[in-house]
Structure 1
Amino acid sequence: MLTLLTYPSAFGLFSASPFCVKTALMLQHSGQVWQRSDMLDPRRMPHQKLPVLRTPERLIPDSDLIRDWLEQKGAEFDQGLSDVEKAQSRALVRMAEEHLYFHIVLDRWGNDEVWPILRETFFTGIPALIRKPASNAIRKSVLKGITSQGIGRFSLPERMDRVERDLEAISAHLWQSRFLLADQPTSADMSVGPMLAAMRATPADTPLTRRIKQDNLLNSYVDRMEQAIPIA
């Protein structure tokens, strides 16, 4: 049986990581028999990140590499799409995973209201006596990475303007069909849906969470994704 190594459930989602949720959606959609195995410390994993798929032969890191493996086994995530639509799908995936994702990270790790919740959710394996200093050091490292990536250099209004343009692009697709490129979920939905769900689920009232919760189109889309491919 295949085993998905994933971060645990959090904030009402299959996992706190939208990449782990994406991979679970792909596994469920593919028809493969699989199970989950939760972990908090991925340092021994091939890329020191999650998700990782354990197959009978090897460990496969990274959601895109897992997708490649599933497609080699016969999965079709973009069935019925034209070449142009598949290109659009790839662009939507990259927008979600290489831009929107970092806004989610900053919204969680850089927010002093959210941080105590994250510390008690993600770092329970650290002894209580040293949990605060150890987790604060990890937080500092994460925020340094976000600054190096670039998102952390923008003011909140600048960040929200950048997010808004992406959300408008997503909404333009959703006005045309039930899902981004078709009337059933495709690979783009398996990336974009979990990102929007993660934005909505952040355990504090932030401009980003409010933006999703107050948008009927995006809210209903997230709900449709959860109903279309149940994984919890």
Structure 2
Amino acid sequence: MITLYSYPGLYGLEDNNPYGQKVFAFLRLCGLAFEHRHILDAKAAPRAQLPYLVDDDKTIGDSDAIIEHLKQKYAAPIDDELTHPQRDLDLLIRRTLDDLYWVMSYSRWADPRYWPIFKDAILTTHPGVTAEALDGARQYNFDRYHYQGIGRFEAHDVYARGVADLQVLSNLIDEDSFLFGTEPVSTDASVYGFVANIYFYDIDTPLKQFVLSRANLVRHCKAMRDAVKRTVAR
């Protein structure tokens, strides 16, 4: 039995963290049956990070490691047709998304223009979460941003970095297909986890403004949402 542990959802998404949303989308695209459990405390997770997966007696942390495990154990054919250059591009895209993550996180927790909206959305959607807990998480994130480096940037420089990441994604996505053809692959799930956590949020950050200005990013996000929702577990 597969169990996915990830953060709670928000704004209609299954996870308010792009990495958990990515794994959720991958599982659905592959038609794998799984239980989804939402948690907030990541202390028991591998490396104290969410998401993580429990598959029978094995526990796997890190979204990329989770996907590799699922592809190997269940012979998921989703990426079988990818060429070597496409696999190289997949890695480069995932590394770009790792950079985008920090900008997304900064926009929610650090930017005083958007933090109250994000905080209120969490408190309204999840009554069990306290304002004190969120304030503590915010301070923790401030420390993370400082040591990672992005917390030392001016806000406009932070968003310029994120917009540059999104521009690359927009450049790679056609107007009427997925990244590598007519069917989604794991790379599409990765991109979807991030763009969905921008597009579907009712928070008008510079990241969302950019996504809305790129019809191909919006189309890809909506097409992935439809694909994720219609997949039936085998």
TM class by shorter chain equals 0.7 to 0.9
- Residues 160 and 140 (structure 1), Cα distance of their counterparts in 2 relative to 1, 3 Å cut: same
**C-alpha contact 1:89 1:181 (8 A) present in aligned 2:** no
In the TM superposition, 1:63-212 aligns within 5 A as 63-73=63-73, 74-96=75-97, 98-120=98-120, 121=122, 124-125=127-128, 131-132=131-132, 134-175=133-174, 178-212=177-211
Deviation of 1:154 after TM superposition, in Å, equals 2.2
Counterpart AA for 1:182: G
Deviation of 1:171 after TM superposition, in Å, equals 1.7
Deviation of 1:124 after TM superposition, in Å, equals 4.7
Deviation of 1:140 after TM superposition, in Å, equals 1.5
**C-alpha contact 2:114 2:205 (8 A) present in aligned 1:** no
Structure 2: gaps of 5 or more residues = none
Structure-2 separation of matches of 1:231 and 1:41: 31
Structure-2 separation of matches of 1:172 and 1:117: 30
**C-alpha contact 1:53 1:66 (8 A) present in aligned 2:** yes
Structure-2 separation of matches of 1:174 and 1:21: 20
Identity of aligned residues (%): 28
**C-alpha contact 1:30 1:70 (8 A) present in aligned 2:** no
SS of 1:60 mapped into structure 2: strand
Deviation of 1:157 after TM superposition, in Å, equals 2.8
- Residues 178 and 118 (structure 1), Cα distance of their counterparts in 2 relative to 1, 3 Å cut: same
SS of 1:5 mapped into structure 2: strand
**C-alpha contact 2:2 2:34 (8 A) present in aligned 1:** yes
SS of 1:9 mapped into structure 2: coil
Counterpart AA for 2:80: Q
Structure-1 separation of matches of 2:111 and 2:71: 38
**C-alpha contact 1:3 1:37 (8 A) present in aligned 2:** yes
Counterpart AA for 1:104: M
- Residues 141 and 36 (structure 1), Cα distance of their counterparts in 2 relative to 1, 3 Å cut: same
Task: Provide the residue aligned with 1:224 in structure 2.
Answer: 223
**C-alpha contact 1:51 1:62 (8 A) present in aligned 2:** yes
SS of 1:77 mapped into structure 2: helix
- Residues 167 and 115 (structure 1), Cα distance of their counterparts in 2 relative to 1, 3 Å cut: closer
Aligned-residue CA RMSD in angstroms? 2.2
Structure-2 separation of matches of 1:62 and 1:24: 13
TM score, norm. by length of structure 2: 0.87
**C-alpha contact 1:173 1:181 (8 A) present in aligned 2:** no
- Residues 135 and 162 (structure 1), Cα distance of their counterparts in 2 relative to 1, 3 Å cut: closer
Deviates more, 1:208-217 or 1:98-107: 208-217
- Are 2:26 and 1:26 aligned? yes
**C-alpha contact 2:118 2:203 (8 A) present in aligned 1:** no
TM score, norm. by length of structure 1: 0.87
Task: Provide the residue aligned with 2:44 in structure 1.
Answer: 44
Q: Deviations over 1:131-172 (max 9, x none)?
A: 43x432321220221122122222233233322332222122
SS of 1:230 mapped into structure 2: helix
Task: Provide the residue aligned with 1:6 in structure 2.
Answer: 6
Deviation of 1:16 after TM superposition, in Å, equals 0.3
Structure-2 separation of matches of 1:117 and 1:172: 30
**Aligned length in residues:** 227
Deviates more, 1:80-89 or 1:147-156: 147-156
